[in-house]
Structure 1
Amino acid sequence: MTRRQRLTQEDEGSILLLSLGYAVIAIVLILVCVDATSLYLAQKRLESAADAAALAGADGFTLTVEAGEPMADLTDAGVYEQAADIVAAVGTATLISAGTPDGVSARVTVATVWHPPILTLFVPDGVPLEATATSRNALL
């Protein structure tokens, strides 16, 4: 018997179990990547909503004239009203706070809860997300 014939006769077993194991790992990895991508996009949408609400809040000023110079004064109520309208129009977030820390800037915080599109054992069901944005108005 030649060496080659001995090697082929000693080769017993199957790689089916190994292939199935790799397939399961690949499927789990794909599902987790889909959930991670969904989480990333949800955070970006929330940040965009916060940016839009802060920008609208910065437009909630009252115009005053002091010593011949126009001044844009922000109030907490004006910022909140403008930001609430934008957040309500978006509809995917909840307005947590909106106000002005210095009378010139509008700071808005929005929140939501993300749920994975494909529930797996490795991804939690429901992750709270929060985003804060600040916008400043300027009269030129």
Structure 2
Amino acid sequence: MPRERCDDEGSILPLLLGYVVLALAVVFVCTCATDLYIAQKRLDSLADAAALAGADGFTLVVEGEGVRAELTDDGVREQAAAVVDAIASGAHLVSASAPDGVSARVTVAIDWHPPLVSAFVPAGVGLEATATSRTALR
């Protein structure tokens, strides 16, 4: 074979290394994105549980011949804080209130940090979730 036709000599090692680096970057980003999604869903569940507990912290008010349940900001905050303290690892209660006297609105937050260190993912993100629950008794 003549020497002029053998111009495909060379190494594929740089190309292979480039693809390996790209594949690792994609794996790191996907792992971090999945962990972020799961952290947000866990925070949503915590907010739901805290709001539900806050809605159960009602006091009964007797008006004439009727009885109604009434929520107070302090009662909602106390119940929600108990749930957040018992369940959460790193989450904190941002706010807990009873805006209309029959609903409990709770906001919780956490600082998320990626499980893998990567140049493509931020070092940390603040996550927040808000949930509202109404008391069954009106």
The structure with more radius of gyration: 1
State the secondary structure of the residue aligned to 2:85: helix
Instruction: Indicate which of 80, 83, 87 corresponds to 1:83.
Output: 80
Q: Aligned equivalents of 1:54 and 1:94: distance in 2? A: 14
Q: Is the 8 A contact 2:60 2:70 kept in 1?
A: yes
> In the alignment, what sits opposite 2:53?
56
Letter in 1 for 2:81: A
Q: Percent identity?
A: 64
State the aligned residue count: 137
1:45 aligns with 2:42: yes
3-state secondary structure, aligned to 1:46: helix
Runs of 4+ with deviation above 3 angstroms: none
Looking at structure 2, the residues matched to 47 and 99 of structure 1 have their Cα atoms a distance apart, in angstroms, of 17
Q: Any gaps of 5 or more consecutive residues in structure 2? A: none
1:138 aligned partner: 136
Q: Deviations over 1:38-94 (max 9, x none)?
A: 111111111111000000000010012223222000000100010010000013210
TM-score, scaled to structure 1: 0.91
1-structure distance, mates of 2:117, 2:127: 18
> 5 Å matches for 1:1-140?
7=5, 9-92=6-89, 93-139=91-137
In the superposition, the TM-score normalised over structure 2's length comes to 0.92
RMSD over aligned CA atoms reads 1.7
Query: Is the 2:60–2:67 contact (alpha carbons within 8 Å) kept by the matching residues of 1?
Result: yes
**CA displacement at 1:13 relative to structure 2:** 1.5
Structure 1: which 5+ runs fail to align? none
Query: Shift in Å at residue 6 of structure 1?
Result: 6.9
